[in-house]
Amino acid sequence: MIERTAPDGAPTVGVIGGGQLARMLAAPASALGIGLRVLTRAADDPAAQVVADTWLGDWADAATVAEFARGCAVLTVEHEGQTRSDAATCPVHPSPQALRCAQDKLFMRRTLTEYGYPGPRWAQVTDVADVVACARNWGWPVILKAPRGGYDGRGVWRVADRMSAERVLADMSGGLLAETSGGLLAEECVPFERELAAAVARSPSGQAVAYPVVATTQTDGICTEVVAPAPRLSDDRALAASHLALSIARDLAVTGMLTVELFDTGTDLLINELAMRPHNCGHWSIEGAITSQFENHLRAVLDFPLGDPRLRAPCAVMVNVLGGTATGLTGAYRHVLARDPQVKVHLYGKAVRPGRKLGHVTLLGDRPEPLLVRARHAADYLSGRITE
């Protein structure tokens, strides 16, 4: 095995987790001339395929993390799972204290409520009677969330009545409930017009920059489309959303990227979720922003000055490539790349499973609608949903 060291005193960032987010950190790490080290579980994980300094091991094991972190200037994480980042002797960004708000949805709601941030009404529920009590106040349906371990719609249920609530709670008595000894998070089902996301980067010394607020489309709980900047969002409301994200980053002492997913009710901006890492909502920034979320995450955790987050074009759109019928996605390049020489394709090197996020495509231009048509076509063709 080739021993990898960062050149000439350059710092190395250790990343716990080897998914596509770690994979997309590789390009800016290489450009900045810093080291990137990834700890992941399998050799075919997206980042393991491309990051030279990949370690295979268990991030839930303290000794593994301690050894991994030796020689790193800073440790960061690319997922919300339980890790033993506390075993690292180097700084960890975001700190485990800050990260808890992104790992534990109940803790997140409690903390945001204490600070007075706007969100849907919520309660901690442990049985059906609790859920029914919530519904009495807010009406059905009620949103139930496993506080930990959910992603891409996993661990989130929309229950329309007492019976479906019972079913979810019964299912929960096995798997996920073991992780959620404190019960579930119940949230009011907010009637929203659309979803927005406000992303910021913040460094340990407190510098922060805000990305343009984007509009996001979720399909079955998976972020599938993003438009930057969010269309028809007044400057005032965009500023309010960015201000919200900057304030949360400051109050929770977040370091690195923070993405705040928001419900836009037409009048209010309500906080849906927090993520303290690069986020699907910010993939457009690789080509679309002067400094991508991946570069700014690295700069932030290293406490380097942050880069300009502004758009390079009037508009950027991102559409996810989800697993469909096609295997061997690059086989579609002959069509996709010929049809649209401007489309930027990102594939994550993941095995195809239906509905799984396998990649994304980005287009820059003047107006979102025509860009979305082209990006959807490219994504659908790559996934095999259309074949001509």
Near a copy of itself by CB under 8 A: residue from 109, 344, 357, 374: 344
Radius of gyration, CA atoms only, the chain: 21
Near a copy of itself by CB under 8 A: residue from 239, 330, 353, 370: 330
Distance CA 170, CA 164 (A): 10
CB atoms within 10 A of CB 297: 30
Contact status: 8 vs a copy of itself (CB under 8 A) = yes
Q: Which residues in 23-62 contact a copy of itself (CB under 8 A)? A: 23-24, 26-27, 29-36, 43-44, 48-52, 54, 56
Token pair in block for residue 309: 């987050």
CB of 94 to a copy of itself, least distance (A): 21
Strand 194-202 and strand 256-264: the pairing is antiparallel
Contact status: 2 vs a copy of itself (CB under 8 A) = yes
CB neighbours of 239 closer than 8 A, spacing ≥ 6? none
Element holding 14 (H helix, E strand): strand 12-16
Q: Interacting stretch for a copy of itself, rule CB under 8 A, among 174-182, 258-266, 343-351, 372-380?
A: 343-351
Near a copy of itself by CB under 8 A: residue from 236, 266, 338, 388: 338
Distances in Å between the Cα of 65 and the Cα atoms of 18, 54, 161, 254, 261 are: 14, 13, 45, 21, 30
Q: Which is nearer to a copy of itself, 49 or 164 (CB)?
A: 49
Q: Which is nearer to a copy of itself, 23 or 148 (CB)?
A: 23
Contact status: 308 vs a copy of itself (CB under 8 A) = yes
CB–CB of 382/332 below 8 Å? yes
CB atoms within 10 A of CB 116: 7
Q: Which is nearer to a copy of itself, 61 or 340 (CB)?
A: 340
Q: Which residues in 202-261 contact a copy of itself (CB under 8 A)? A: 209
Q: Interacting stretch for a copy of itself, rule CB under 8 A, among 112-120, 162-170, 173-181, 351-359?
A: 351-359
Near a copy of itself by CB under 8 A: residue from 201, 306, 316, 375: 306
Q: What is the amino acid identity at position 349?
A: G
Q: Interacting stretch for a copy of itself, rule CB under 8 A, among 4-12, 90-98, 131-139, 149-157?
A: 4-12
Question: Which residue, among 292, 295, 271, has the nearest Cα to 283 in the 3D structure?
Answer: 292
Strand 208-210 and strand 222-228: the pairing is unpaired
Q: Which is nearer to a copy of itself, 32 or 190 (CB)?
A: 32
Whose tokens are 């500023």? That residue is: 239
Distance CA 211, CA 257 (A): 10
Near a copy of itself by CB under 8 A: residue from 70, 154, 167, 312: 312
Contact status: 190 vs a copy of itself (CB under 8 A) = no
Near a copy of itself by CB under 8 A: residue from 139, 206, 305, 370: 305
Contact status: 348 vs a copy of itself (CB under 8 A) = yes
Near a copy of itself by CB under 8 A: residue from 90, 132, 190, 313: 313
Q: In what order do the strands lie in the sheet with 156-159?
A: 122-125, 184-188, 142-145, 156-159
Question: Which residue, among 250, 225, 230, has the nearest Cα to 357 in the 3D structure?
Answer: 225
Contact status: 9 vs a copy of itself (CB under 8 A) = yes
Q: What is the amino acid identity at position 172?
A: M
Whose tokens are 């002492």? That residue is: 253
Q: Interacting stretch for a copy of itself, rule CB under 8 A, among 106-114, 219-227, 228-236, 328-336?
A: 328-336
Q: Which is nearer to a copy of itself, 124 or 207 (CB)?
A: 207
CB atoms within 10 A of CB 5: 10
Any idea of the CA torsion for 268, 105, 188, 150, to the nearest 10 degrees?
110
Token pair in block for residue 242: 């960015």
CB of 34 to a copy of itself, least distance (A): 6
Applying CB under 8 A, the residues found at the interface with a copy of itself are 1-11, 23-24, 26-27, 29-36, 43-44, 48-52, 54, 56, 209, 286, 290-291, 299, 304-308, 312-313, 327-331, 333-334, 337-338, 341-342, 344-352, 359, 364
